Amino acid sequence: MDRNRLVSVIMPTYNAGKYLADSVSSILDQTYLDLELLITDDGSTDPVTLDILHKIEERDSRVDVLYLDHNHGAGYARNKSIERARGRYIAFCDSDDRWTPDKLEKQIAFMNQKQCALSCASYIIFNLNEQKSVGINIAPPKITFSMMKRDNKIGCLTAIYDTQLLGRKYYMPTLRKRQDWALFLLILKDCKVCYSYPSQPLAVYCRHKHSISSSKISLAKYNIAVYRSILGYGWLKACFYFAFLFLPTYILKLMKRKQDSYCFVKRKG
């Protein structure tokens, strides 16, 4: 493998079961061949998950699995994978999401063209219970630190950053949830801008009844925690940002996503 082209794919797993095989296949079947898949299993007890993990690491030398003895949370598991990463590029995919076959090929070429340290892409929303595409999240063409303070605009399953330009110093903050938003805020403090691949969605976010993001209201305290622990805001300022910047921006984003998804589903139909 060419270390200057190598992409280290970070995947946490925890009782992912039947969804895991499709996610892993979507990574290993990429048209871009210089990759390693670094899985950290966060104390799974599900025999289906463990069986899949044992089989894929035996079958493909690009797969490296670390088994934790008990559950720590997705952020901790991702960091254990980042610690083992050898690649120039760090990419993320959760164990129930999927990539399009040409995601890495197109996105890495785009990053080289733009000379950017951080990139993302739009993604399709797929309902696993109904087994159909139900929407799309279209990423803004250019995302700045100021925009990210208002709301997370980078889908973690599409994000890639370049350690050659940024260094190997970024890890998920030790928050139980919203670590991805916190991480991208820290990166954007340094690189200033994230560019989005413009032509098509490059990943599939799989929504099901167990998805963490299915209960956004319950995540309010974690959003406030990001303002406090990552940006260093006091309690009152953090609550102000959440109430008057985050919530209005997030509601507008949901409305836009709903309209975009309606057009996407109608066009497909």
pLDDT tens per residue, range 61-116:
999 999 999 999 999 999 999 999 999 999 999 999 999 999 999 999 999 999 99
pLDDT-derived band at 215 (thresholds 50, 70, 90) equals low
Q: Considering the chain, what is the average pLDDT of its residues?
A: 93
CA distance 208 to 104: 25
φ and ψ at residue 3, rounded to 5 degrees: -60, -25
Give me the domains of the chain, ranges plus CATH numbers. Answer: 1-96 (3.90.550.10), 102-153+169-269 (no CATH)
CA distance 216 to 219: 5
pLDDT-derived band at 219 (thresholds 50, 70, 90) equals confident
pLDDT-derived band at 174 (thresholds 50, 70, 90) equals confident
Give the burial class of 32: count Cβ atoms within 10 A of its Cβ; 0-12 exposed, 13-18 middle, 19 or more buried: middle
Amino acid at 157: L
What is the rounded average pLDDT of the residues 227-235?
A: 96
pLDDT tens per residue, range 121-140:
999 999 988 889 999 999 99
Please report, for residues 36, 87, 98, 187, 197, the alpha-carbon distance to residue 6 in angstroms, rounded to integers and kept in the order given. 7, 4, 19, 20, 19
pLDDT tens per residue, range 2-54:
788 999 999 999 999 889 999 999 999 999 999 999 999 999 999 999 999 99
Q: Is 212 a residue whose pLDDT tops 50?
A: no
CA distance 35 to 99: 14
